[in-house]
Structure 1
């Protein structure tokens, strides 16, 4: 499997991780998971060859906005595509995520067809 098919899921809810990972693996993608922004940064900065990050925006300690900003500041990770995944679907939330550095945005609950369109666009 090509490195670009490695997708990182960052979410503090194990149920979300399970559902996303199951869907992506069924479509042939390799998946790694993290339950915090800090863990995601450690893996990314530790030279993991990730092709796409699916980032939950509302996490304790370090939220997705801060995590994305730190990913974008690092020379080795600044170009990795990041898709914000959030239950916040209010007016302006998409723009807030894009402004923080996300390349795209998906709202929860995740619709599999929309998820796969977005993944194919960025991987």
Structure 2
């Protein structure tokens, strides 16, 4: 696919961050990682481009729902898809009600991910619980 885009990954697990960043890189998408949700405002203030956000739901300090509320209130993210990327597939209904743009269950499937990414960057929602 090889698209020029930049993703923001917000997840406290370094292994998950590495896997997602690698999958994005294969598709030509660069990424910025926030491993500590407490760093959100500082990183976002210095971010020059963001086309998609991948957000874990369960993190220390701030959970994904709180992070989503902060991003959703920021005008820079009004047209940026924010996608839950989590092992907690039982939360898909709550994620949808909260207003996120999609849900991708972990572990990520390297075969399916390119298509999921393309649909999300084209403005479609993806609800892939598996």
The TM-score, its normalising length taken from structure 1, stands at 0.85
Q: CA RMSD in A?
A: 1.9
Contact 2:7 2:54 in 1 (8 A): yes
Give the aligned partner of residue 66 of structure 2. 66
Residue 100 of structure 1, aligned match among 94, 98, 101? 98
Please, which runs of 5 or more residues in structure 2 have no aligned partner?
A: 122-130
User: After TM superposition, what 4+ stretches of structure 1 lie above 4 angstroms from structure 2?
Assistant: none
Q: Distance in 2 between matches of 1:115 and 1:38?
A: 28
> Residue deviations 1:1-21, cap 9 Å, x none?
97x610111110000011111
SS in structure 2 at match of 1:8 = strand
Matched residues in 1 for 2:37 and 2:79: separation? 17
Cα distance between partner residues in 2 of 1:38 and 1:46: 15
The 10-residue stretch of structure 1 (56-65 or 68-77) with the greater mean CA deviation from structure 2: 68-77
The count of residues paired between Structure 1 and Structure 2 equals 120
Q: Secondary structure at the match of 2:33?
A: strand
Cα distance in 2 for partners of 1:45, 1:101 equals 23
* Distance change in 2, residues 1:122/1:57 (3 Å): same
1:110 is paired with a residue whose SS is: coil
For residues 99 and 43 of structure 2, the distance between their equivalents in structure 1, rounded to whole angstroms, comes to 19
CA offset at residue 47 of structure 1? 4.7
Residues 41 and 67, structure 1, Cα contact 8 Å, conserved in 2: no
Maintained 8 Å contact 1:45/1:76: no
**Following the alignment from structure 2 to structure 1, what is the Cα–Cα distance between the partners of residues 93 and 75?**
24
Consecutive unaligned residues of structure 1, counting only runs of 5 or more, are none
